[in-house]
Chains A and B, each alone.
Chain A
Amino acid sequence: MADVHLKRVRKSYGNVMALSEINIEIPTGTFFTLLGPSGCGKTTLLRAIAGFHTHDSGEIVVNGTDIGKLPAHRRNVGMVFQDYAIFPHVTVRENVAFGLKERKVPRAEITRRVDDILEKVQLAAYADRMPHALSGGQQQRVGLARALVVQPTLLLMDEPLSNLDAKLRVDLRRELRAVQQSMDMTTVYVTHDQEEALAMSDTVCVMYGGVIQQAAAPWEIYHSPANRFVAAFVGSNNFIPLVNGTIAGVPVPLAPGIPGNGAELALRPENLQIVTGTPPEGMVTLPATLDQVAFTGREVSVALHLENGQEVQAICAPDPALLGLPRGARTQLAFDPSRAQVFESGVTGRRLS
């Protein structure tokens, strides 16, 4: 129920620049995910929006007004914490009712709204329990219910699922997204789990070193990463440096304007094939030596190295012939040059094709 606009937000801790020039637009109802490695400033940005600390400059505009100077308790921003932050001294019901009481909502309405939301997060049966008698996943849902029940203009979540086991994480992920969509709640979600980010979000925003690298739909993030960092961080990728337009002596057909040096070819493992016979038309083939073959059920992950020593990962369909290859076997690696992306060298090198 709110569109959020961050304009040139900056924040530093002493001489550590935690956020530099953050500009983001989040339309109403969007599930917006901040994705990035540890220490890239995700929490810092979230806490600046919530008002738990001041940013140095810039504006945080929600529904047209700058809330950047408002104290945290007057921002009407819901927050779900990584460590749940459930009030340990009151029951589940009182936890959820806390914000409504603060807003002086009439008693009957409090009861109704608390019951509704507990129903929605499937905790109706636990309303009168104390928090310590709940599992981690249940506590997490109390945290979610508590934040949602006050119908905040904006919902913030800082790695809410990271303390849970893998199975529960996937279940809760789905529930969370369903609740968010049914309430049409603008949501900023922090995670460093790329799969979670891709699965849940309308928009994924990749951050690195306090700078936004790319904010786009999951498909676009994965298939057309804006720079080398995004290509490396989201999904796996093989980066192979170009030397005079070749890889280990094998010429690679490149789009015009791409330099033969100082650039790297990014090849997703699933776009690499291992060929034993003659390679298909239009593919580039590189001689390679097999290091390891790992069968994971749905697919086979193969580790190889090229003649120049460069290590490469490939993911192939399961094939008994492939699994039978011994370590050190000589083979050929083939890829379609039109599916390869080229980036400037360097952590955040620009995309060239």
Chain B
Amino acid sequence: MTGGSLRLSAPSFWTWIMIAACVMLGVLLFWPILSVFIISFEDADTGRFTLENYIQIFTRRYYVSALTNTLIVGVAGMLGACLLGVPLAFCMSRFQLRGRTLISTMAVLTLVSPPFIGAYAWIMLLGNNGAITNALGAIGIDIPSIYGMAGIILIFSLKFFPFIYLMTENALNGINKSLEDAAENLGCSGWRRFRKVTLPLVFPAVSTGAIISFVLSIADFGTPAIIGRGVRTLSTIAYTQYTSEMGGTPTMAVTISMVMIAISMLALLIQRRMLAKRRYASSMTHKRQRAPLHGARSVLVHGVSYGIALAGMVPAFVVIWTSFLATNGPVFSGGFGLDSYRRIMAEAPDAVMNSFIFALCAVALIAVVSSLLSFIVVRRESFISGLLDLILMVPYLVPGVVMAIGFVTTFNSGWYNLVGTATMIILIVFIRRLPYGVRSTSSVLRQVKPSIEEAAIALGASPAKTFLKITVPLIMPGIIVGSLMSFITAINELSSTLIVYTASTVTMPVKIYLSVVDGEFGVAAALSTVLTVSTGLCVFLVFRLSEDREANFV
């Protein structure tokens, strides 16, 4: 009844918006992906059709090892994240912990901080010249190297566990207590009950979180680039190939990109398949009481929970601490000082400015477009609106490196030549983060009764005017939260910007990456602190503005 309600009354306005939305997604999303797809079948020199690029990827050692490395870090990062996220979720949902809000806030902060900051923060602690390495070295203990595979997996586990924690906790809280009681009553208790009853019930949530971690792990560029040393992954070699093929046709870079998209899609499909077989109707829940904690058990549970949450926050503490260390050039000269901040004021004011300007432009676009798109998705029941909903999943699956290569190979000539412009950076961030905006606005719009809009129409307001005067004010909370969420991800964007930036369009994440590569840890720390603080501020605002706090972040 409600769905197609405005179909007749609004043939022109919303039909135009729908057409515009399709054109926009076609140009900014499908065209780049399609051109990447086509180029991957071209011979670099002759431009003829060939399968040679794919054959190389699956036969040449350089590529095969990157492919295996990618899969290994993806799977291991995902498992590591589960090992941290599931116990934390269990402790949080089953026991009376002190400082619950603190723990979940730390988890969210971990979630929103970019992984490359984690990578170099851990280097500063456990690297060859790291604080902990040196301290332990002084008392004669050698710790294994943080560089390479182990480091990447450590960073991914610590970075992505909050996805799993937040989703699993939500699911655990939703389990009907009677189910577990019934199991206990039937003689199944303790660990066995957890394995046989509880775990299967939260499996959909855990697996969704796990897939997100996997997709983000294989797409991440900064971490393997900073801490990987010899370990190459698909995203780092895509970047290297792209820079080395610069000028010519980037056939190998785009072929790698296609393989990355394929892996992400495959992961999503596998997860869907697994979920399809397990569908549990959840009934009205009989909420469980959280168990009180005493004695050794209390110490253990608190220790585990705070340990996990704090481990995720270590990078933030490290960069903030480091940013206030006195430096002399790239060397820390002992004691505290504001040298690093002075240096970024002198050397990288444009990086700071650019970051904010680009992010704000992208967010403004996202706010406008996502409110229009969510109206189409929520209010107009048609084939196309269903399709739009599905299409908006695509940006989640396309790694940033791939999106950027797609843009560069598409918008590179004639009047639509955007190579090297700020516009390109803004558009890439816009299209990649649009789904966040649409998701949060449409969830608010679903709560607004369509009859309120119909009342305005019946009173003579045109569809466009109804949208502006009635719908927009009512979904404003969703638009604001969506904008904050997209701002957080926009300002931290590294992987795509690194491909398309020029001297005049440097951003903070790019500058941080370059500084780390150059060993300028002080500058990197000061910039990271600026990023972390702006991100934290947005998180604070989302918490203030939204009732369902943590749910906004997963």
A residues sitting closer than 8 Å to B (CB atoms) are: 43, 47, 50-54, 71-79, 81-83, 85-89, 98-99, 102-103, 143, 146-147, 150
B9 touches A98 (CB 8 A): no
Q: How many residue pairs bridge A and B at CB < 8 Å? A: 85
B9 touches A51 (CB 8 A): yes
In the bound complex, residues from chain A placing their C-beta under 8 Å from that of B11 are 71
Give Cα A89 to B469, complex, Å.
10
In the bound complex, residues from chain A placing their C-beta under 8 Å from that of B457 are 52, 72-73
A54 touches B7 (CB 8 A): yes
Q: Name the distance in Å between A233's Cβ and chain B's nearest Cβ.
A: 23
A98 touches B456 (CB 8 A): yes
B460 touches A102 (CB 8 A): yes
Residue in B8, B449, B458, B473 whose beta carbon sits within 8 Å of that of A54 in the complex: B8
Given known contacts A73-B462, A78-B458, A79-B454, is B473 in contact with A89 (CB within 8 Å)? yes
Known: A71-B10, A89-B474, A150-B459; 17 extra A-B contacts, CB below 8 A, are A50-B454, A52-B5, A71-B8, A73-B9, A73-B458, A73-B462, A81-B451, A85-B449, A85-B451, A85-B455, A88-B452, A89-B473, A99-B459, A99-B460, A102-B459, A102-B460, A143-B455
Q: Does any Cβ of A come within 8 Å of B461's Cβ?
A: yes
- In this complex, how many residues of chain B approach chain A with their Cβ under 8 Å: the count is 27
A98 touches B8 (CB 8 A): no
In the bound complex, residues from chain B placing their C-beta under 8 Å from that of A71 are 8-11, 463
Give Cα A215 to B454, complex, Å.
28
B459 touches A72 (CB 8 A): no
B9 touches A52 (CB 8 A): yes
Residue in B7, B460, B473 whose beta carbon sits within 8 Å of that of A76 in the complex: B460
Could you name 28 residue pairs across A and B whose Cβ atoms are closer than 8 Å? A47-B5, A51-B8, A52-B5, A52-B9, A52-B454, A53-B4, A54-B7, A71-B10, A71-B463, A72-B9, A72-B454, A73-B9, A75-B458, A76-B460, A77-B458, A78-B458, A78-B459, A79-B454, A79-B455, A79-B458, A85-B449, A86-B455, A87-B456, A89-B473, A99-B459, A99-B460, A102-B459, A150-B460
Give Cα A71 to B8, complex, Å.
6
Give Cα A72 to B14, complex, Å.
14
Give Cα A99 to B169, complex, Å.
48
Residue in A47, A73, A88 whose beta carbon sits within 8 Å of that of B461 in the complex: A73
In the bound complex, residues from chain A placing their C-beta under 8 Å from that of B470 are 87
Top 8 A-B pairs, shortest CB-CB distance:
A99-B459, A72-B9, A85-B451, A79-B458, A102-B460, A85-B455, A54-B8, A81-B451
B454 touches A102 (CB 8 A): no
Q: Does any Cβ of A come within 8 Å of B57's Cβ?
A: no
Give 1 or 0 for each of B415-451: 1 = CB within 8 Å of chain A CB.
0000000000000000000000000000000000101
Give Cα A89 to B455, complex, Å.
14
Complex: chain B residue closest to A68, CB-CB: B8
Complex: chain B residue closest to A77, CB-CB: B458
Q: Does any Cβ of A come within 8 Å of B530's Cβ?
A: no
B458 touches A72 (CB 8 A): yes
B452 touches A87 (CB 8 A): yes
B454 touches A81 (CB 8 A): yes
Q: Does any Cβ of A come within 8 Å of B1's Cβ?
A: yes
Give Cα A78 to B4, complex, Å.
20
In the bound complex, residues from chain B placing their C-beta under 8 Å from that of A53 are 4-5, 7-8
Given known contacts A51-B8, A79-B455, A81-B455, is B460 in contact with A73 (CB within 8 Å)? yes
Q: Does any Cβ of A come within 8 Å of B188's Cβ?
A: no
Q: Does any Cβ of A come within 8 Å of B6's Cβ?
A: yes
In the bound complex, residues from chain B placing their C-beta under 8 Å from that of A89 are 473-474
Q: Name the distance in Å between A194's Cβ and chain B's nearest Cβ.
A: 23
In the bound complex, residues from chain A placing their C-beta under 8 Å from that of B465 are 102
Complex: chain B residue closest to A96, CB-CB: B459
Give Cα A86 to B456, complex, Å.
9
Complex: chain B residue closest to A95, CB-CB: B455
Complex: chain B residue closest to A149, CB-CB: B459
A98 touches B451 (CB 8 A): no
In the bound complex, residues from chain B placing their C-beta under 8 Å from that of A74 are 460
Q: Name the distance in Å between A148's Cβ and chain B's nearest Cβ.
A: 11
In the bound complex, residues from chain B placing their C-beta under 8 Å from that of A79 are 454-455, 458
Q: Name the distance in Å between B441's Cβ and chain A's nearest Cβ.
A: 16
B456 touches A50 (CB 8 A): no
In the bound complex, residues from chain B placing their C-beta under 8 Å from that of A85 are 449, 451-452, 454-455
Complex: chain A residue closest to B449, CB-CB: A83
Q: Name the distance in Å between B221's Cβ and chain A's nearest Cβ.
A: 44
Q: Of residues 29 to 88 in B, which have CB atoms within 8 Å of A's CB atoms?
A: none
A146 touches B459 (CB 8 A): yes
In the bound complex, residues from chain A placing their C-beta under 8 Å from that of B459 are 73, 78, 98-99, 102, 146-147, 150
Residue in B451, B460, B463, B473 whose beta carbon sits within 8 Å of that of A83 in the complex: B451
In the bound complex, residues from chain A placing their C-beta under 8 Å from that of B4 are 53
In the bound complex, residues from chain B placing their C-beta under 8 Å from that of A54 are 7-8
Give Cα A98 to B460, complex, Å.
9
A52 touches B8 (CB 8 A): yes
* Most chain B Cβ neighbours within 10 Å, of A52, A82, A88: A52
Q: Name the distance in Å between B381's Cβ and chain A's nearest Cβ.
A: 11
Q: Name the distance in Å between B6's Cβ and chain A's nearest Cβ.
A: 7
Complex: chain A residue closest to B4, CB-CB: A53
In the bound complex, residues from chain B placing their C-beta under 8 Å from that of A83 are 449, 451
Given known contacts A73-B461, A102-B461, A150-B460, is B7 in contact with A87 (CB within 8 Å)? no
Complex: chain A residue closest to B476, CB-CB: A89
Give Cα A51 to B457, complex, Å.
10
Q: Name the distance in Å between A186's Cβ and chain B's nearest Cβ.
A: 15
Q: Name the distance in Å between B513's Cβ and chain A's nearest Cβ.
A: 45
Give 1 or 0 for each of B493-504: 1 = CB within 8 Å of chain A CB.
000000000000
In the bound complex, residues from chain A placing their C-beta under 8 Å from that of B449 are 83, 85
Given known contacts A99-B459, A150-B459, is B1 in contact with A43 (CB within 8 Å)? yes
Give Cα A53 to B456, complex, Å.
15
Give Cα A98 to B459, complex, Å.
7
